[in-house]
Structure 1
Amino acid sequence: MDTDVCRPGELTRADREAWSALQAAAAGQGLPELANPFLAPEFTVAVGQVRRDTRVAVVRGGGSTDTGSPAAFLPFQRSRFGVGRAVGLGLSDCQGMVAAPGFHCDGPGLLRACGLAVWEFDHLVSGPQPFAGYASGAFASPVIDVADGPEAFWSALRARSPNFTRRTLGKGRKLGREAGELVYVHDERDPRMLEVLRGWKSAQYRRTGRGDRFARPWIVELVDRLFHTRTDRFAGQLSVLYAGGRPVAAHFGLRSDRVLSTWFPAYDPAYGKYSPGLLLHLRMAEASAAQGLASVDMGRGAKAYKDALKSRELTVHEGWVTRRHPVALGRRMHRAPVRALRNAVVSRPELFGPADRLLKRLGSFRPKGRN
């Protein structure tokens, strides 16, 4: 097994096509989770354009009959001290290795080939990953199945969440009457609407006491690049719901040829009583079904609206793969307590409720400008 490590921009056209082909074939091989757009080469290439620490391990052999062809791709970020992170850690909703059927390798051995002492992940995809045995926690990632078309989507939603569906559609009709005709654009190409979405999302982060991701220039640039990235199998997709010609809710996410992965949803608080964010999600799922996608992946995290919309749940994992190395020990000692505390708070309602209210209260004291 030979491993070459390069910057994403240094991948050959043949290697990128091989990566895309492995993804495209995954569903037919019983690994539909690998079709997630966060695992596509386009996402890693975009991250590499805004972060110089991004690398890709191209593995040849390891079970492939043609030892010269790529058998697996592992994107990651690497510090100068050998600390590795899943590409986009803390931002990406699906991580792992994209590999050919029958591929196998040793996790620590792969780290050695990549020059890493440790590799950290928080959304590792399920399946035959070389890092599966190193997970320290498993978490639900709700999914809406849309493969059978729009009518089947609506029928299934009404069957499992009748009250939610009725209330939300009723609010949509009221919004149409009071604010003007509703128009949904599934793939909005006006970049001004992306800026509107960022403004709403930044305000939401501040309002709820969370750190503003769009205060980081590299994330702003990454989203801009992904918005303009379009191939046969990948696109950065902006969806907008308008009422009376005015945008009331928007979402920016990533789409492969099978999966729409939700990422940055937000809405205008002036229309909050109409639940425009929920209306947007319904339209997104319906349009994705009409588009021929298989699913909408709503990402890790417990939310009431996800419970109402979901058809099922995937499982993603967090943890570390380590070698016997002092850097790995130090990294784990630093990160493990923080993760354990966060997961304990999020998973226990009696802790999450007060913590969430405290963050919102602190957010109310923040200045209205960007962080």
Structure 2
Amino acid sequence: MDTGIRVHRPGELTAADRAAWTALQSKAHLHGSPELANPFLSPEFTLAMSRVRRGVRVAVVREGGEPAAFFPFQRSVTGVGRAVGLGVSDAQGVVHRPGFTFDARELLRACGLAVWEFDHLVAGQGPFASGATGTFESPVMDVDQGWETYLGRLRERSPKFARTTLAKQRRLMRDTAGARYVHDERDPAALRTLMGWKSAQYRRTGRSDRFASAWITALVERLFHTRSDPFAGILSVLYADGRPVAAHFGLRTERVLACWFPAYDPDYARYSPGLVLHLRMAEAAAADGIAQLDLGRGRKEYKDSLKTRDLYVSEGWVTRRHPVAVGHRARRAPVRALRNAVVSRPELFEPADRLLKRVGRIRSRP
């Protein structure tokens, strides 16, 4: 198998290879693998990651001289492999042509990896799925049949949520000056506002501030300026009283808008501007021909209300017989097991969440 595999830095891929990668994504829904169209599996995301993190590589598998599959990954000098953007990426795996099969351990050997760790492995990755240690819901909003159809389903499935959210939207329009929605805002100042809100939210809730990591900030800014026909970073903003009151930054391909960083101004919390924003995003996405908004892994009340169904992603690792793989798994497994036990059990999660928020309030005091 390895005779057909070459490993490249993302910037070394030819224009033809990048076009082939994009074509596999754009046709994935026609071949029964719509999960491969996720923006986090795109060449643009991998290239942006290579600009802010070391060790990003792409294995290109060829059959008959033509690209059959693309496997993006990050590699350490010791041979520890991670999914590209592990911890911030919401979709991971091999982008491949219909009917493509591979041996996971042979692929790792060809890439010089002792282990490959993932936390958002998409469906249909059978050779990697055998290494999954857990599978989790990833809610989506289907808008492929249009906004009115989605809204009708929302009213049937979550009537109280739909009624109150739409009422708050009307109240926001009535109570504020110049309320408006911009689906694809190009003002970098609005992006900085969003990142400031998100940092404050992380601190307020006792979570680790992702935007305190310079590489995550650089990644988001780079993706904000990345635009092509099949891919773009999309900043959506809800304005009122002449300023942003809610915003979201995500990534889109031709058919999928991946929801990533939403936040809002707490001064407008009574209007639930974040929920209003998601409904406006769904309406605009449907008009743009987007089929699906992927809300990302994890159960939250607002996701349960907005979703039409769940996809599933997995976490775990695939290993070769190698001491580096043994050591990596021994170090990482207890941390993951503890986190998942807390998140999945209300009797553990609720007191832990309260404690984090209490710590957050202390940290946020002037």
TM-score, normalization: structure 2? 0.98
| Residues 1:358 and 2:360 aligned together | no
Any gaps of 5 or more consecutive residues in structure 1?
62-66
SS of equivalent residue, structure 1 residue 140: strand
The partner residue of 1:289 within 267, 277, 286 is 286
Give the aligned partner of residue 18 of structure 2.
16
Matches within 5 A, 1:197-216: 197-216=194-213
Bigger drift between 168-177 and 353-362 goes to: 168-177
* Aligned amino acid, residue 245 of structure 1: G
| Residues 1:4 and 2:6 aligned together | yes
* Aligned amino acid, residue 57 of structure 2: R
Matches within 5 A, 1:1-371: 1=1, 2-61=4-63, 67-366=64-363
Q: 1:361, CA displacement in angstroms?
A: 0.8
Q: 1:232, CA displacement in angstroms?
A: 0.9
| Deviation digits for residues 77-135 of structure 1 (CA, Å, limit 9, x no counterpart) | 11111000000000000100001111111101110000000000000000144201111
Counterparts of 1:328 and 1:273, CA distance in 2? 50
Q: 1:285, CA displacement in angstroms?
A: 0.7
* Aligned amino acid, residue 13 of structure 2: L
Bigger drift between 22-31 and 358-367 goes to: 358-367
Name segments (4+ residues, structure 1) moved above 6 Å.
none
Give the aligned partner of residue 64 of structure 1.
none
Counterparts of 1:338 and 1:202, CA distance in 2? 24
SS of equivalent residue, structure 1 residue 242: strand
Counterparts of 2:206 and 2:180, CA distance in 1? 32
Q: 1:96, 1:129 within 8 Å by CA — same for their partners in 2?
A: no
* Aligned amino acid, residue 304 of structure 2: D
Counterparts of 2:220 and 2:307, CA distance in 1? 26
Counterparts of 2:253 and 2:39, CA distance in 1? 5
Q: 1:244, CA displacement in angstroms?
A: 2.5
SS of equivalent residue, structure 1 residue 288: helix
Q: 1:178, CA displacement in angstroms?
A: 2.2
Q: 1:153, 1:289 within 8 Å by CA — same for their partners in 2?
A: no
SS of equivalent residue, structure 1 residue 218: helix
Bigger drift between 110-119 and 46-55 goes to: 46-55
Q: 1:179, CA displacement in angstroms?
A: 2.2
SS of equivalent residue, structure 1 residue 57: strand
Q: 1:368, CA displacement in angstroms?
A: 6.5
Q: 1:146, 1:294 within 8 Å by CA — same for their partners in 2?
A: yes
| Deviation digits for residues 27-61 of structure 1 (CA, Å, limit 9, x no counterpart) | 00000111111001000000011112111111112
Q: Percent identity?
A: 69
Q: 2:204, 2:364 within 8 Å by CA — same for their partners in 1?
A: no
Counterparts of 1:368 and 1:259, CA distance in 2? 39
Q: 1:97, 1:129 within 8 Å by CA — same for their partners in 2?
A: no
